[in-house]
Structure 1
Amino acid sequence: MIGFIQQLRQRTPLGWLQLSHEKSRLLVALGGIAFADVLMFMQLGFQNALFESNTKLPNSIQADILLISPQGRNVLNISTFTRRRLYQAMDVQGVQSAEPMYINFIDWKNPKTRQKTSVLVIGVNPEKQALNLPDVNRQIDIVKLPDTILFDRASRGDYKEAIAQVEQGKPVTTEIDRRTVTISGLFSIGASFGADGNLITSDQNFLRLFPGRQASSVSIGLLKIQPGYDVKQVKAALESHLGNDVKVLTKAEFIEFETDYWKKNTAIGFIFSLGVAMGFMVGVILVYQVLSTDVNSHIKEYATFKAMGYNNLYLLGVVFEEAIILAVLGFIPGAIAPLGLYHLTRNATNLPVYMTVARAATVLMLTMIMCIISGAIATRKLQSADPADMF
């Protein structure tokens, strides 16, 4: 039995033996790495929710090419252009249809609490399929009725009672800008960082809700291309045919346009990226402190190894071994804790914050790099250690 234990110890990595010798120091290191990982997980989760929640509507739009005003910053801050451009677009070979979409924010009263909140209203032509949302397309005839809307069941707020009534086939009435409207159907897009919820209705109902808005002022033009035509070629033809008061985008470019706004033109996108960087730096500092302390406390042992003929590369390998062990062990609690935090965030905000395999792999890779960098810094003193100076 004693011989087996000795053999087991001989096969145990030296790095693990050194780390496990000071258990309190090991626990502090793992706690620091887990904290850094949780910080990175949360920031990456919020960043992904930012992009995903704000691109759900653009992703659901059913069009090959979209026309928007050059003044538009994103879907939530969209400008308008004249409807004449849609008629002109129909003159371009390959364009099958050109339909308007109307978008604007409006205050409405929660049917239950009667509190005001801001929601995004989307007006579409009910005779044409504008959105790739089965729930909307199945109920689109409902919004042909005056002052009738479809409500986003994934909106942020207390709407359980109203949603339950609508699901039972009982219409719910509420007030939008002093106008009584009826919720007769439900769909799901979800809240975003810019909007608490969404309403979909007909273009005519939209204009009733916004009496100062002209039908000729379009938010987005939805163009469908005839089969057999190349989208990029039709886009180029549209750009040369239409005026400078519209921007022509493919659907992929429109989604990228929305993502770039939140990524590059808002403070919130920068803050989440900075949060990931800060978590990474915190981890580097914490792991460096642990490894540096370990190297200092065992500097004589390392010097003895040098005197016995072990070169710097072997000793550096021991420290890097410690760094990898810390990265793996610290990642485990660092990946478990965000699962609960993500669930809490989803319930509180209705934002799409979920753990993904890709994100877990990204954070694990960052943790490895973080610990290796710390190990590289901590080994500087080890490389200069001279056995003659230690004794």
Structure 2
Amino acid sequence: MSRLLQAIFGRLPIGWLQLTHNRTRFAAALAGVAFANVLVFVQLGIMASMGAATLRPYDFFRADIMISAGDANAMADGGNVARQWLLQAMADPDVTDGMGLFLANVAWDRGEKDISLSTFGIDPVKPGFLNPALAEDMSLLAVQDAAILDRLARGLAREEAAAIRPQTPLSFEAAGRTLTAYATFAGGGGFGGDGYMLVSDQTFLSLFPARSSAAPDHILLTLRPGADVDAAVARLKTLISDPSLRIRSFAAAAEEDLRYQQTRRPTGIIFGFGVLIGVLVGLVIVYQVLSTDVADHLREYATFKAMGYGSGFFLGVVFEEALVLGIMGFIPGLIIGTAILTLMGKITTLPLAMTPSMAISVFVGTVVFSALSGAIATRRLAAADPADLF
């Protein structure tokens, strides 16, 4: 390592030699930096999984425009929408079809522990509103109390889910009714439930008798091919007589939902602060190590300063130490962080995984903040008089 650093810097790697002189302190410093990296990786992984879980339900559907209640900040919250607005929207020349979307959580009674399923009630005769992979099984929902079940739901054994097919359906109790799953799809647990389930709108209303077919949670619209979505949205806002409704493109609805979850919901804010705390922990650890190292070698630095070496030389030595700590601390942090995220993903079925962009961003941040810590640690040395250091 000394030869490599000497070739890189073109001089004796003083910073590396000073760090490795006390191997115990060096190992403790690397462990501290690695811990800070792990903390940031886990928080970033959870934030990314929250984003993926938020957007996952939108992947189930195919629509151009979504109409929601004025207080609907996310797909899973807000009031209902009167079906009459669907009839008004159909008057627009670019709107080709519409469907009411019902949504609620259903508890699957599993005995010791229930499985919470985010359940969508849809019209089974309109497969065009579903992802093609889901649309293939839409006809199965025409049967009363039929369901398509999330095979990745938390609490559902993979072997049990794999056995579900039209020839070998699975019957279960939910919301006081007996439902029968004839097929499965890949969903996965989220922050609002253990998994997902698709049923027909009539089955949904039988599960929730207090709900009305005239008041779905959202209205989905499709436009003719080549139609301008933004222009259609603008026309619908004048065509529909309720100004309180949120009328936006389906893509914009997904983006607003994600932004709401990350910036306004407590979970998103907490995870954001977790990332900030991880960065601050790493900054403090590296600064403490470098500051202590500078203090321990003030006499040696004073000799160099008396010989005419400028502040740039000392800054370079401390930057060398900061880079060594940042890079060498990042490697174990990456390995441990990847292992933790993988394990958490398997346990929770959340989309937790290390991504290249996450690794690159944390690496760059580690190097930058290590260099910043080094710059702060050299302030005392830059202001010191060599005569006062002996």
Tell me the TM-score range normalised by the shorter chain. Answer: over 0.9
Q: How far is the alpha carbon of 1:261 from its aligned partner? A: 2.0
Maintained 8 Å contact 2:144/2:203? yes
SS of the residue 1:57 aligns to: helix
Per the alignment, residue 388 of structure 2 pairs with: 389
Runs ≥4 residues deviating over 4 A: 7-12
Q: How far is the alpha carbon of 1:279 from its aligned partner? A: 0.7
- C-alpha RMSD of the superposition: 2.0
Give, as a single letter, the amino acid of the residue that structure 1 aligns with 2:243.
N
> Equivalences for 1:154-169 in 2 at 5 Å?
154-167=152-165, 169=167
1:29 correspondence with 2:35 = no
Structure 1 spans left out of the alignment, 5+ residues = none
Per the alignment, residue 109 of structure 1 pairs with: 109
State which of 131, 137, 140 in structure 1 corresponds to 2:138: 140
Per the alignment, residue 49 of structure 2 pairs with: 49
The CA distance in 1 between the partners of 2:133 and 2:148, in whole Å, is 9
The CA distance in 2 between the partners of 1:136 and 1:372, in whole Å, is 51
Per the alignment, residue 333 of structure 1 pairs with: 332
SS of the residue 2:103 aligns to: strand
- Which region of structure 1 is more displaced relative to structure 2, 380-389 or 181-190? 380-389
- Which region of structure 1 is more displaced relative to structure 2, 30-39 or 73-82? 73-82
SS of the residue 2:120 aligns to: strand
SS of the residue 1:166 aligns to: coil
Task: Give the 3 Å change call, closer, same or farther, for CA 73–228 of structure 1 in structure 2.
Answer: closer
State which of 159, 167, 170 in structure 1 corresponds to 2:168: 170
Give, as a single letter, the amino acid of the residue that structure 1 aligns with 2:377.
A
SS of the residue 2:339 aligns to: helix
Give, as a single letter, the amino acid of the residue that structure 1 aligns with 2:97.
S
Per the alignment, residue 93 of structure 1 pairs with: 93
Per the alignment, residue 311 of structure 1 pairs with: 310
The CA distance in 2 between the partners of 1:17 and 1:380, in whole Å, is 21
Deviations 1:69-101 (A, max 9, x none): 112231222421100000100111211111111
SS of the residue 2:76 aligns to: helix
> Equivalences for 1:1-391 in 2 at 5 Å?
11-110=11-110, 113=111, 115-129=113-127, 131-167=129-165, 169-242=167-240, 243-391=242-390
Maintained 8 Å contact 1:124/1:130? no
Structure 2 spans left out of the alignment, 5+ residues = none
Give, as a single letter, the amino acid of the residue that structure 1 aligns with 2:33.
I
Task: Give the 3 Å change call, closer, same or farther, for CA 59–203 of structure 1 in structure 2.
Answer: same
SS of the residue 2:55 aligns to: helix
Deviations 1:101-151 (A, max 9, x none): 1111222213xx463332211011112125553442111111111111000
The CA distance in 2 between the partners of 1:328 and 1:131, in whole Å, is 49
The CA distance in 2 between the partners of 1:131 and 1:370, in whole Å, is 48
Q: How far is the alpha carbon of 1:379 from its aligned partner? A: 0.6
The CA distance in 1 between the partners of 2:388 and 2:350, in whole Å, is 60
Q: How far is the alpha carbon of 1:372 from its aligned partner? A: 1.6
Task: Give the 3 Å change call, closer, same or farther, for CA 296–374 of structure 1 in structure 2.
Answer: same
The CA distance in 2 between the partners of 1:59 and 1:206, in whole Å, is 20
The CA distance in 2 between the partners of 1:358 and 1:46, in whole Å, is 15
Maintained 8 Å contact 1:37/1:335? yes
The CA distance in 2 between the partners of 1:162 and 1:356, in whole Å, is 31
The CA distance in 2 between the partners of 1:229 and 1:166, in whole Å, is 40
Maintained 8 Å contact 1:99/1:223? yes
TM-score by length of 2: 0.94
SS of the residue 1:98 aligns to: strand
Deviations 1:168-208 (A, max 9, x none): 94111111122111011000121111111111011121122
Deviations 1:232-275 (A, max 9, x none): 11110001111224211112211112112211221111110111
The CA distance in 1 between the partners of 2:175 and 2:271, in whole Å, is 35
The CA distance in 2 between the partners of 1:323 and 1:167, in whole Å, is 58
SS of the residue 1:82 aligns to: coil
Q: What percentage of aligned pairs have identical amino acids? A: 37
Task: Give the 3 Å change call, closer, same or farther, for CA 66–51 of structure 1 in structure 2.
Answer: same
The CA distance in 2 between the partners of 1:125 and 1:251, in whole Å, is 18
The CA distance in 2 between the partners of 1:168 and 1:74, in whole Å, is 33
- Which region of structure 1 is more displaced relative to structure 2, 142-151 or 237-246? 237-246
Give, as a single letter, the amino acid of the residue that structure 1 aligns with 2:177.
R
The CA distance in 1 between the partners of 2:22 and 2:260, in whole Å, is 49
The CA distance in 2 between the partners of 1:230 and 1:97, in whole Å, is 15
The CA distance in 2 between the partners of 1:380 and 1:139, in whole Å, is 68
Maintained 8 Å contact 1:58/1:254? no
SS of the residue 1:217 aligns to: coil
